[in-house]
Amino acid sequence: MSVVYTHIRRAEPAVLEGLSRFGVATVHEAQGRTGLLGPALRPIYPGARIAGSAVTVSLPPADNWMIHVAVEQCQAGDVLVVAPTSYSDAGYFGELLASSLAARGVRGLIIDAGVRDVRDLTAMRFPVWSKAVYAQGTVKETLGSVNVPVVCAGGLVSPGDVVIADDDGVCIVAQADAAVVLKASEAREAKEAKTRERLARGELGLDIYDMREKLAKRGLVYRPLPPAE
């Protein structure tokens, strides 16, 4: 029942590199508004933006043993994705584990639970997206699995999926779709750059997106605000 899958497949480094230039919102839109993990995942410090390959960990509540097992499966460019099988806000992860991951070139941690040592993690610039910050310790008693599909903060993550994370949250791109989503992200960004320029000059979205007729058809009316109240 407890398995570590080794030798997972990963997206091309160039594709990861490309996706890391776009934010979560852009990638999420570019792949048809799918792949977001839930809003409970928040970065421990502002400003980080990463893209990497998911190494996934399914583990019991308040037991971080399998994270130690997972470290060995990580390589440069990976992102560790940790999901307990039941709700937990315990602090599964701190600066010792971060030192270990950083030594292997891991780009960050996504955890549907708590972390601790956030002052040290911030100083190290090791980015973490977590549901809680909490010093509560965990045990090392019960097995889980590494590189199985996990549900993390309400979204599905498979090993080798591309993880994009920034201040807006975390988005998952299936490995097989990564190159296509990169293209779509580039296209979207190019189009938005033009819109941004027009909006900044004072043009209205109502006109740029040609909304006025559709709004009127649906029945929107304009009236001066009645006096008094």
Considering only residues 171 to 210 of the shown chain, the ones binding its own copies according to CB under 8 A are 171, 192, 195-196, 199-202, 204-206, 209
Q: What is the dihedral of CA 162, 166, 171, 177, to 10 degrees?
A: -40
Cα 177 to Cα 182: distance, rounded to the nearest angstrom: 9
Nearer to its own copies, 18 or 22 (CB): 22
Type of residue at 5: Y
**Shortest spacing between CB 15 and its own copies, in angstroms:** 19
Judged by CB under 8 A, the residue of 15, 77, 82, 95 near its own copies is 95
Q: How many residues bind its own copies (CB under 8 A)?
A: 103
Sole residue written with tokens 């903060």: 153
CA–CA dist 106, 118 (Å, integer): 17
Instruction: Please choose, from the candidates 55, 50, 51, the residue with its C-alpha nearest in 3D space to the C-alpha of residue 16.
Output: 51
Q: Out of 15, 54, 79, 97, name the contact with its own copies by CB under 8 A.
A: 97
| Least CB distance to its own copies at residue 195 (A) | 6
Q: Which of 11, 16, 50, 71 binds its own copies (CB under 8 A)?
A: 71
Range 10-39, binding its own copies (CB under 8 A): 23-25, 28-29, 32-34, 36, 38-39
Alpha carbons 163 and 56: distance in angstroms, whole number:
11
Nearest approach, Cβ of residue 77 and its own copies (Å): 16
Which residues make beta-bridge pairs with 55? 80
Q: Report the site for its own copies in 105-144 (rule: CB under 8 A).
A: 114, 116-120, 122, 132-137, 139-143
Phi, psi of 109 (to 5 degrees): -130, 135
Pick the binder of its own copies from 155, 163, 172, 181 (CB under 8 A).
155
Dist CA 2 CA 175 (whole Å): 24
Closest CB to its own copies among residues 213, 226: 226
- Pick the closer one to its own copies by CB: 14 or 40: 40
Interaction between residue 78 and its own copies (CB under 8 A): no
How many residues are recorded in the chain? 229
Whether the Cβ atoms of residue 85 and residue 61 lie closer than 8 Å to each other: yes
